[in-house]
Amino acid sequence: MAVYLQDFSITSSLALWFALKERAKLTTGVAANWTVRTGSTGSVYSVAGDPISSLGQLGAGAWWVQSGHGFADSGAVHRRELCWQVNGSGQVRAKYSPRAGFTGGSPSATQVPSATDERVFLGGGTDASPTYVTLWPSSGAWAQARFDESTDATLIFTYPVGGGAVSSVLWLETTPLVYDGTRLVDPDPLTLHCATGATCLTDDLGSDLTAPRGLLSMGDSDELWARLPLGFRMNRDSSGTWRRIFPGGLPQDPAYPTAVYSQESARFGRGAYAAGTLGTGEAGNSNTCGDKGKGTVCRLSGTAFASPTALDGREASTGSATTRTLLGLGYLVYPWGGYQPAI
As a whole number of angstroms, the distance between CA 23 and CA 17 comes to: 10
Residues in a beta bridge with 321: 314
Looking at the predicted structure, is the pLDDT value of residue 257 above 90? no
Range(s) of the domain holding residue 287: 153-343
| pLDDT score, position 314 | 74
Using CA atoms, how far apart are residues 20 and 5, in angstroms rounded to an integer? 7
Question: Following DSSP, what letter does each residue of 55-83 receive, concatenated?
Answer: GGG--TT-EEEEE---EEETTEEE--EEE
Which residues, in sequence order, are bridge partners of residue 233? 246
Residues 6+ apart with CB under 8 A from 82: 65, 66, 68, 94, 95, 96, 97
Q: Highest mean pLDDT: which of 232-236, 251-255, 258-262?
A: 232-236
* Residue 276 covered by a domain: yes
199 and 322 part of one domain: yes
Q: Is 260 exposed, middle or buried (0-12, 13-18, 19+ CB in 10 A)?
A: middle
- Cβ burial 154-176 (10 Å sphere, 16+ → b, else e): bbbbbbbeeeebbbbbbbbbbbe
The DSSP code for 253 is: P
Model pLDDT for residues 67-85, shown as the tens digit of each residue: 999 999 999 999 999 999 9
Over residues 194-203, the pLDDT tens digits come to: 999 999 999 9
Q: Which H or E run includes 21?
A: helix 13-25
194 and 211 in contact (C-beta within 8 Å)? no
pLDDT value at residue 5? 97
pLDDT at 43: 97
Task: Indicate the residue among 139, 161, 181 that finishes a domain.
Answer: 139
The pLDDT tens digits for 130-139 are 999 999 999 9
- Please tell me the distance from the alpha carbon of residue 201 to that of residue 170, in angstroms, as a whole number: 10
Residue 30: its pLDDT value, please? 66
- 32 has pLDDT over 90: no
pLDDT of amino acid 252: 83
The answer to whether residues 209 and 290 belong to one domain is yes
Which pLDDT score is estimated for 28?
A: 86
The tally of domains found in the chain comes to 2
Within this chain, do residues 210 and 277 fall inside the same structural domain, yes or no? yes
Q: Do the domain assignments include residue 105?
A: yes
Residues 58 and 170 in one domain: no
Please, what is the average pLDDT of the chain? Answer: 95
pLDDT digits (tens, 9 = 90+) for 274-326: 999 999 999 999 999 999 999 999 999 999 999 999 999 877 677 778 899 99
Provide the 3-class DSSP secondary structure of residue 165.
coil
The answer to whether residue 147 is domain-embedded is: no
Asked if residue 144 has pLDDT above 80, the reply is: yes
Would you state the pLDDT for residue 44? 97
Reduced to 3 states, what is the DSSP secondary structure of residue 273? Answer: helix
Is residue 198 domain-shared with residue 249, that is, in the same domain? yes
Local confidence band at 98 (pLDDT 50, 70, 90 cut-offs): very high
pLDDT of residue 107: 98
Could you tell me if residue 144 is inside a domain? Answer: no
Q: How many residues does the chain have?
A: 343
Whether 218 and 85 map to the same domain: the answer is no
Look at residue 175 and tell me if it is in a domain.
yes
High-pLDDT (> 70) share of the chain, %: 99
DSSP helix/strand/coil, 96:
strand
